A and B are shown apart, each in its own frame.
Chain A
Amino acid sequence: DTEVTQTPKHLVMGMTNKKSLKCEQHMGHRAMYWYKQKAKKPPELMFVYSYEKLSINESVPSRFSPECPNSSLLNLHLHALQPEDSALYLCASSPGLAGGREQFFGPGTRLTVL
């Protein structure tokens, strides 16, 4: 079952709100990712977790805070976002980092910041 789930599907938040995005996979994958995608652009990598440890932070502003509670779950905590942060936020997982294995994306959360 190649499925990654994400909640919520849509989120509207003000610039002073705190919210969280959630991602779950049950494929036994050991690497999980957060991407941001703006309209008509390819996904941009934000964070990579490998074996529940943060491996990569692609110089993402601190208003985005990732968390990996266990090997199946990945959260993205949002605080004091800006309107330009409005985008589709995608979670992905892969069997591991080594060997450049395939990544499977979840359905995404459409975020609007007012």
Chain B
Amino acid sequence: QKEVEQNSGPLSVPEGAIASLNCTYSDRGSQSFFWYRQYSGKSPELIMFIYSNGDKEDGRFTAQLNKASQYVSLLIRDSQPSDSATYLCAVNSGGSNYKLTFGKGTLLTVNP
């Protein structure tokens, strides 16, 4: 059974701080990794994806992947109240595998 684990939170950070969201996965063969942001009552929005070990930066967001430790993280720099949402980690085993395995999500609250 492939599993993706996230802390459910809530994670609370002050405005302007760095928010760090973590995710571990059980399938060592996993090949692609995604972070989705979901506001309450809305659909998931893809904000980052990463395929290779290391860091990937896009604006205020950095995704970090460590396949040896089966760990992927999302850093949000200069957090804003508008970043308050649930962040879903999703993992795909790649190849012809179609299925994303989602974590249960981490609720992030950024306090003004």
- B104 interface residue, CB < 8 Å from A? yes
B104 touches A41 (CB 8 A): yes
Q: Whole-angstrom distance between the alpha carbons of A88 and B49 in the complex? A: 24
Contact, CB under 8 Å: B45 / A105: yes
Residues of A within 8 A of B92 (CB): 100
Q: Which of B32, B43, B46 contacts A106 (CB 8 A)?
A: B43
Residue pairs across A and B with CB atoms within 8 Å: the count is: 58
Is B96 engaged at the interface, CB distance under 8 Å to the other chain?
yes
Report B-chain residues with C-beta under 8 Å of the C-beta of A100: 31-32, 92-95, 97
Question: Which single residue of chain B is at the shortest CB-CB distance from A48?
Answer: B98
**Interface residue B17 (Cβ < 8 Å from any Cβ of A):** no
A88 contacts B43, CB within 8 Å?
yes
Interface residue from A42, A88, A97, A110 paired with B104 (Cβ < 8 Å): A42
Tell me whether B98 and A104 are in contact (CB under 8 A). no
Q: Which residues of A contact B42 (CB under 8 A)?
A: 107-108
> How would you classify the secondary structure of chain B's contact residues: helix, strand, loop or mixed?
loop
Complex CA distance for A107 and B46, rounded to whole angstroms: 12
- Per the bound structure, the CA–CA distance linking A88 and B99 in Å amounts to 19
Residue of B nearest to A6 (CB): B43
Q: Is the CB of A103 within 8 A of B95?
A: no
B100 / chain A contacts, CB cutoff of 8 Å: 45, 103
Contact assessment for B43 and A108 in the assembled complex, using a CB-CB cutoff below 8 Å: yes
The answer, yes or no, to whether A86 is at the interface (CB within 8 Å) is no
Are B32 and A105 neighbours in the complex by a CB distance under 8 Å? Answer: no
Who on chain A is nearest to B49 by CB? A102
With CB as the reference atom, state the residue of chain A lying closest to B107: A40
Instruction: Tell me the chain A residues, 3-62 only, with Cβ under 8 Å from chain B.
Output: 31, 33, 41-43, 45, 48, 50, 55-56
User: Which 3 pairs show the lowest CB-CB distances between chains A and B?
Assistant: A100-B92, A42-B102, A100-B32
B residues apposed to A, CB below 8 Å: 31-32, 34, 36, 41-46, 49, 88, 92-100, 102-105
